[in-house]
Amino acid sequence: MDNFTAFYQTIGPALSLLVVITFLLAGAVKGVIGLGLPTIAMGLLGLAMPPAQAAALLIVPSTLTNVWQLATGGHLLALLRRLGPMLGAIFVGTLAGSAWLGISSGPWAAHGLGAALLVYAVYGLIGPQLRLATSREGWLGPLCGLVTGLVTAATGVFVMPAVPYLQSLGLSRDEMIQALGLSFTVSTVALALGLAGQDALGGEALGASLLMMAPALLGMLAGQWLRQRISAAVFKRCFFVGLAVLGGHLLLNG
């Protein structure tokens, strides 16, 4: 039990409360729009702790919520066949990036995290709706996967350019939700291995991450309830505006 609570005893009650609120909010966003848990968690926690520490906290909630997401929809085998090269490249890119770059605690780390969040937010707000020709998936999928892996290793954010690529494939809503779950699960597992290789994911960090499952799942349930009562499009727009502000702050101030 000490491994579960030692991290929170170390950081104190105020920062522990921020962590809990962050995962409640991140889970709620994921419940409404189907993504955003690790992005919100990295952005908000990046305001108060090194990105490597924030990334370690999101491993268990991100993995389990994304496995839950990819398990529903009935398109898993078809998506694995279609997206396999991209997913493999994400895994390789994340591990290679972790060995080469890693999520540093240096002065540039928070700036890099802010840049990644800002780029994603701007794309979400004004990015064009692309449609990729099937003939280009063979080379563009692995390339996007490799770049996504490198960005993941450096910042802990694994949405760019994987999300725009998946959105360009013309998938149905159910296929898209499963595809996002697949991509994010592979990214999270590879990130966990990369953090372990940097000695940033020991028993204490895993225990602290496991405790965040409860607020993340509670937030998801609240978000799913909220989704039936608000406009998902308006909520998504507010999410990206908030993410842009958060990313801009981290980019400028670290």
Q: Which domain holds residue 237?
A: 2-253
How much is the pLDDT for 4? 60
Share of the chain above pLDDT 70, in %: 96
Which residues, 6 or more positions from 114, have their beta carbon under 8 angstroms from its beta carbon? 46, 246, 247, 248, 249, 250, 251, 252, 254
Say what the pLDDT of residue 21 is: 94
Using left for φ > 0, alpha for ψ between -120 and 50, and beta otherwise, residue 74 falls in left
Please say if the pLDDT value at position 226 is more than 60: yes
pLDDT-derived band at 143 (thresholds 50, 70, 90) equals: very high
- 102, 55 in Cβ contact below 8 A? no
pLDDT winner (highest mean) among 101-105, 132-136, 140-144, 206-210: 140-144
- At residue 253, the pLDDT reads 78
How many domains in the chain? 1
Residue 102: pLDDT band (50, 70, 90) is low
pTM: 0.87
**Mean pLDDT computed over every residue of the chain:** 87
Least confident among 12-16, 71-75, 111-115, 118-122: 71-75
Mean predicted confidence (pLDDT) in 237-250: 88
What per-residue confidence (pLDDT) applies to 235? Answer: 83
Reference 59, options 160, 177, 155, 195; nearest CA is 195
